[in-house]
Amino acid sequence: MRKTYPAVQLERMGGAVLLAFFAASLAILANAAAQPGGGSWTLKAPLPAARGEVAAVALDGKLHALGGSVHGVAGPYHDEYDPVTNAWRARAPLPEGRDHLAVVATGGKIYAFGGFTASVHKGAGTDAFEYDPATDRWRSLPPMHVARGSAGAAVVNGKIHVIGGRGPDAVVVAAHEVFDPQTGQWSNAAPLPTARDHMVVIAVDGKIHVIGGRFKGPVQRTGLHDVYDPATDTWSSAAPLPTPRSGLAGAYYHGLILVLGGELPPDHTFPENEGYDPKTGRWTTLTPMPHGRHGFGGATIGEAAYFVGGSLTPGGGGNTDQLLMFRLP
């Protein structure tokens, strides 16, 4: 059964532009089921508060939405979604307000790195935090060596790789630092071949894929696809993202690395949903999102991928509370 948008949400989103969005969203959702193999979208319970530049990670069958910004100010937001009950609950807030976080889950805990304190890309940090769901508490970890936000993070063999990002001077970096949760120590690895940020970073079969991103502003978007092999500490190139973009969300789902969204000022956000198969080295086009967005987070839980928050317009003026679920046949 298709879920309709509650009237209060329409009021929050506001005006004729959002009514047009409502109509377009319903049309795309209606057409999704008619696209064989393309997948379908379902609107789920909304995030408790609309916000952009949200990070998301799955742990123990729950989706955690972390950080984000409202009116250009980053907050310590932490909300947990349960797909079984289709409901959110508040969890312990981050130790500091941050957006553009790099997040991963491993060993039954959540890790968050870097981020910005305010828009646009201000206050890049070296912070590293660990969340224990058993106690609902965060603790600070040894900081990174390189301050940055909008980096990406992935786990291979229990070690966390934090890659790329944008520093305090708003210049993108190629930094690649590795954190060992067992020892609490940081080490350096081969830097990203081309410095960039706002990309998708995902580990599959012991290798790390860094896809898309930007070199400066969102107009300087790229489809670069670099693959890191921890066994040799080397990078190689793979098939580029078909639609170059940045401000992305990603998830590994049904054997595909999903790459979604992006922004292109002054008036375009990308609804594109493209999937990469690491086994064949090929991209496929999947059913697009109901509306373009950027600055949102994604993760896979069971037989579905979930994408939360972000902005429906370039910049931070179109923050949304939407939670979208994507399924393939």
- pLDDT, one tens digit per residue, over 226-279 is 999 999 999 999 999 999 999 999 999 999 999 999 999 999 999 999 999 999
Instruction: For 194-221, give the secondary structure using H, E and C.
Output: CCCECCEEEEECCEEEEECCECCCCCCE
101 Cα distance to chain centroid: 9
Please give the average per-residue pLDDT across 4-15, as a whole number.
32
- pLDDT, one tens digit per residue, over 48-59 is 999 999 999 999
pLDDT score of 35: 41
User: What is the length of the chain?
Assistant: 329
Token pair listed for 258: 């999903």
Q: What is the mean pLDDT of the chain?
A: 91
pTM for this predicted structure:
0.89
Q: In what order do the strands lie in the sheet with 200-204?
A: 200-204, 207-211, 225-229, 234-237
b/e map 296-318, b = 16+ CB within 10 Å: bbbbbbeebbbbbbbbbbbbbeb
Distances (CA, A) of 235 to 152, 189, 230, 321: 16, 11, 9, 37
What are the extents of the domains in the chain?
Answer: 7-327
Task: In whole angstroms, give the CA distance from residue 145 to residue 278.
Answer: 31
For the domain made up of 7-327, give the CATH fold. Neuraminidase (2.120.10)
| Sign of CA pseudo-dihedral 269, 273, 278, 283 | negative
- pLDDT, one tens digit per residue, over 308-325 is 999 999 998 999 999 999
CA angle in degrees (0–180, nearest 5) for 90-165-46: 25
